[in-house]
């Protein structure tokens, strides 16, 4: 079997890998649950390639992510639920339906009008999906209430952001960033008290409150908390790498270096960053 630009070849490969008689022993035993972590991981690797502006890597990682879609679709087809073709048909139908200003007649001719129209169509789709789920006897309890549309499967930072954005639609929101800073200071004080108490559960609870408040201010200043944190993670990597390479250049190791020595190198890395602008 040879590589191809035709999606059907990838579908054939996955079918061959899942063949109970002649397929790959690892692929054969996988389930939706066992593959799910890889799907999430591949999405993050796509994001990483974009951040690094590495187009070669992005092409490769998008392929890995596409493989995850084909893998899930193949397992669903084996279970008699749906196929890859059904996935493609569903998303094409959705995109056509949500863009009547492009594919049909519509008065939406501004970004705001398009957004309003998009939200209205999504709400109609959710009602239809709920009806289909009810017909199949699938409970909608996890999606009840005004916040029910926010997926619990999001990364925690993203879920917090989505919850806050959803609540803000009905006016449950701060009016400006400054009061949120006061809230953050309040949460820091409560975290200090929890630490002093030695109650691990309380510490975890107050830490969550603090992070939630930090996400809130990020939303107000239009700084996505996930991307902000990823930027800081990259900065940490670079500074720590400076510590490591500096120690190696002097014949020292991370394990043997004192905290004071590493802190001095950390500050040196920050000084270099300032010089480079």
What does the pLDDT look like over 192-227, one tens digit per residue?
999 999 999 999 999 999 999 999 999 999 999 988
Q: How is residue 141 written in tokens?
A: 């309890």
pLDDT, residue 143, reads 62
What does the pLDDT look like over 2-40, one tens digit per residue?
878 899 999 999 999 999 999 999 999 999 999 999 998
d(CA 123, CA 143): 13
d(CA 258, CA 245): 15
- Domains of the chain in start order, with CATH, are 7-143 (1.10.287.1080), 156-223 (1.10.287.1080), 226-276 (no CATH)
For residues 67-84, average pLDDT: 97
- The residue to which tokens 């559960």 are assigned: 201
Whole-model pTM?
0.60
């Amino acid at each position: 079997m040879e590589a191809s630009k035709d999606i059907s070849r990838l579908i054939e490969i996955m079918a061959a890998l899942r063949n109970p008689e002649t397929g790959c022993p690892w692929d054969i035993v996988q389930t939706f649950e066992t593959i799910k972590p890889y799907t999430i991981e591949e999405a993050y690797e796509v994001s990483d390639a974009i951040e690094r502006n590495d187009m070669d890597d992005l092409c490769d990682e998008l392929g890995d992510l596409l493989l995850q879609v084909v893998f899930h679709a193949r397992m669903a087809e084996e279970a008699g639920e749906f196929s890859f073709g059904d996935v493609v048909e569903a998303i094409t139908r959705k995109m056509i339906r949500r863009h009547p200003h492009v594919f049909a007649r519509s008065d939406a001719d501004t970004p705001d009008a398009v957004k309003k129209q998009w939200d209205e169509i999504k709400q109609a789709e959710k009602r239809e999906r709920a009806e289909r789920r009810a017909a199949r006897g699938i409970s909608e309890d996890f999606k009840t209430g005004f916040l029910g549309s926010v997926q619990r499967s999001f990364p925690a930072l993203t879920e917090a952001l989505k919850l806050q954005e959803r609540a803000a639609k009905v006016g449950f929101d701060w009016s400006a960033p400054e009061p949120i800073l006061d809230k953050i200071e309040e949460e820091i004080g409560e975290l200090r008290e929890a630490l002093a108490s030695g109650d691990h559960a309380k510490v975890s609870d107050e830490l969550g409150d603090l992070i939630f408040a930090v996400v809130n201010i990020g939303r107000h200043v239009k700084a996505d908390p996930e991307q902000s944190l990823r930027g800081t993670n990259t900065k940490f990597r670079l500074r720590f790498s400076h510590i490591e390479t500096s120690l190696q250049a002097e014949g020292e190791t991370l394990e043997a270096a004192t905290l004071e020595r590493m802190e001095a190198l950390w500050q040196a890395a920050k000084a270099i960053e300032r010089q480079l602008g």
